[in-house]
Amino acid sequence: MDSSAPILQATNLHKRYGATTALDEVSFSLYPGEVCGLLGENGAGKSTLVKVLSGIVIPDAGEIILDRLPYHPRNILDAKAAGLSTAFQELSLIPTLSVAVNLFLPKPKVNALRLVSMRSLEEEASAILNQYGITGVSPSALIGDLPLAARQRIEIVRAMLQNPRVLLLDEPTAALSEREWLFGLVDGLIARGTSILYVTHRLDEVRRLCKRCIMLRNGKKVLEASTAGMTDDDVFSKMAGRSVVESYPVRESSINDSAPPVLEVRHISAARVNEISFAVRRGEVLGVVALEGQGQSALFKALVGLTPLKQGHLVVDGKRVVIRSPRAARVAGLVLVPEERKSEGIFNDLSTAANISIPIINQAASFDFIRGKRERRLVERGAALVDLHSRYLPPNIDALSGGNQQKAILARSLLTEPKCLLLFDPTRGVDVGTKYNIYRVIRTFVREGGAALFYSTELDELVHLCDRCIVIYRGTVVAEVSEKELSPHVLLSLAAGHASEATQSMITANSRNGTSR
């Protein structure tokens, strides 16, 4: 193959949705055996571009040439037939079907009677899982029973299984905390001449994998450059259209020890949570560090009453509270920003404004009739807290990018005037600019007397944002790390459950500090 000829060449792609232009004259090329990064803020048009290339969205104008042939996919099968496959950000797996069946959709192998043999499918799937280094997942397990991270791995493997010439990975590490697994697979694929378009928010991933990257902003291509020559500052300023010098807000301690802790968790146990105790003080961001599936999700759910406590109790502002539902949690002052934004966070068919005002709609109502003006004032106040532009308020929330949806969820949470925000990976699938915004909102919230419990899959975030971190391993707190000792290295080794001697001694020192408080 002539290595200088692009395998995929898109020219002047254009796509409009009503008044918004999702793609504006986008042209780019992908060469054989390269990983090309696709960067951009949320709403920049990355997902639309991926969907156009996958045949899910038909562009209004523009040409695509794949392997020297004109390429006009009408659906995902056309794309597959042409040698292009996609691992989607929103995960295209079917929860009620098994891992094995999902891997081989849409056409699982059939025997002479046109029947699908589950046994041979599962055997084949087991070999594939092995080959791709996925452990601890049974091929007969239902997708819906697996944690998000395992589902994302299977989504990625399924796309790779097609032996595509062009592979699109849309935010493939959004739910993964062990990224090296993916990087290894990507290295293997490009060695075999596969071309990969790698959509991400994470600059370090682009630097690790891509020689070249392109960047979209507001549907336009604003940058095409080799990664070696770019500084982080270049990228941030191009992406956001402004210069971002520091990517984390200044962390000045605002902890107030004179009052009782805002949230005290005393020896709670629930499904997958074993005897956890900690306290979040006024003005503190307490980080939660854990690898995939260590019970952190169960902990957050137990705190807002989504799963029952088997033992232990919660104390809010020095008063013992009983929480059996998220509503009761909200009354007590605990508000969860949930893990799965799409299914747990938003009401798809409602406007962004309605999504924001839902928990406090009573404040805008007289005699149960909602007063439009009052609602609008409330919503605008909330939107201002999170820097959400008012033009995003009237449309349905599912028309918004992930980052703006997350801002809306934060606005909703803040409007209920919580005492303690419970944030479960709030920056997952969110662009750099919005991330910075979210950090700022969290710091502002605690500075003004709130408290926050913050779980993230990104260690960097925890290190820069939190006043203190607890480490959860196998459903229980195994360590507490103070601000001075916070570093990605320390957190990772603790989270993996095998602390080195040095960190071990530090933990004991810390936990002593913790208890003497």
Binding site for another protein (CB under 8 A): 56, 75-77, 80, 86, 88, 90-97, 101-102, 105-108, 110, 113-118, 122, 126, 129-130, 135-142, 145, 178, 271-272, 291-295, 473-475, 495-497
CA distance 234 to 353: 34
Q: How far is the CB of 289 from another protein (least distance, A)?
A: 12
Q: What does DSSP say about strands 20-30 and 263-270: parallel, antiparallel, or unpaired?
A: unpaired
CB contact at 8 A, 218 and 24: yes
Q: How far is the CB of 292 from another protein (least distance, A)?
A: 8
3-state helix, strand, coil in the chain (%, to 5): 40, 25, 35
Of residues 297 and 351, the one with the C-beta less far from another protein: 297
- 3-class secondary-structure state, position 267: strand
Q: How far is the CB of 241 from another protein (least distance, A)?
A: 31
Of residues 50 and 360, the one with the C-beta less far from another protein: 50
Of residues 21 and 126, the one with the C-beta less far from another protein: 126
First to last CA, the chain: 67
Residue 63, Cβ density class (10 Å: 0-12 exposed, 13-18 middle, ≥19 buried): middle
Of residues 215 and 304, the one with the C-beta less far from another protein: 304
Of residues 122 and 431, the one with the C-beta less far from another protein: 122
Q: How far is the CB of 50 from another protein (least distance, A)?
A: 11
Q: How far is the CB of 138 from another protein (least distance, A)?
A: 5
Of residues 75 and 390, the one with the C-beta less far from another protein: 75
Residues in contact with 143: Cβ distance below 8 Å, sequence separation at least 6, in sequence order:
93, 94, 95, 96, 97, 98, 99, 102, 151, 154
Q: How far is the CB of 39 from another protein (least distance, A)?
A: 23
Tokens of 123: 């055997």
Amino acid at 25: E
Of residues 34 and 170, the one with the C-beta less far from another protein: 170
Dmax (CA) of the chain: 76
Q: How far is the CB of 482 from another protein (least distance, A)?
A: 23
Q: How far is the CB of 309 from another protein (least distance, A)?
A: 14
Amino acid at 138: S
Q: How far is the CB of 96 from another protein (least distance, A)?
A: 4
CB contact at 8 A, 234 and 424: no
CB contact at 8 A, 246 and 214: no
Provide DSSP, 203-247: HHHHHHH-SEEEEEETTEEEEEEEGGG--HHHHHHHHHTS----S
Of residues 153 and 212, the one with the C-beta less far from another protein: 153
Q: Give strand ranges (E) for 271-412.
A: 273-280, 285-289, 311-316, 319-321, 334-337, 365-366, 369-370
- 3-class secondary-structure state, position 100: helix
Of residues 16 and 272, the one with the C-beta less far from another protein: 272
Q: How far is the CB of 136 from another protein (least distance, A)?
A: 5
Q: How far is the CB of 115 from another protein (least distance, A)?
A: 4
CB contact at 8 A, 379 and 430: no
CA distance 484 to 71: 55
CA distance 443 to 253: 10
Of residues 52 and 76, the one with the C-beta less far from another protein: 76
Of residues 90 and 187, the one with the C-beta less far from another protein: 90
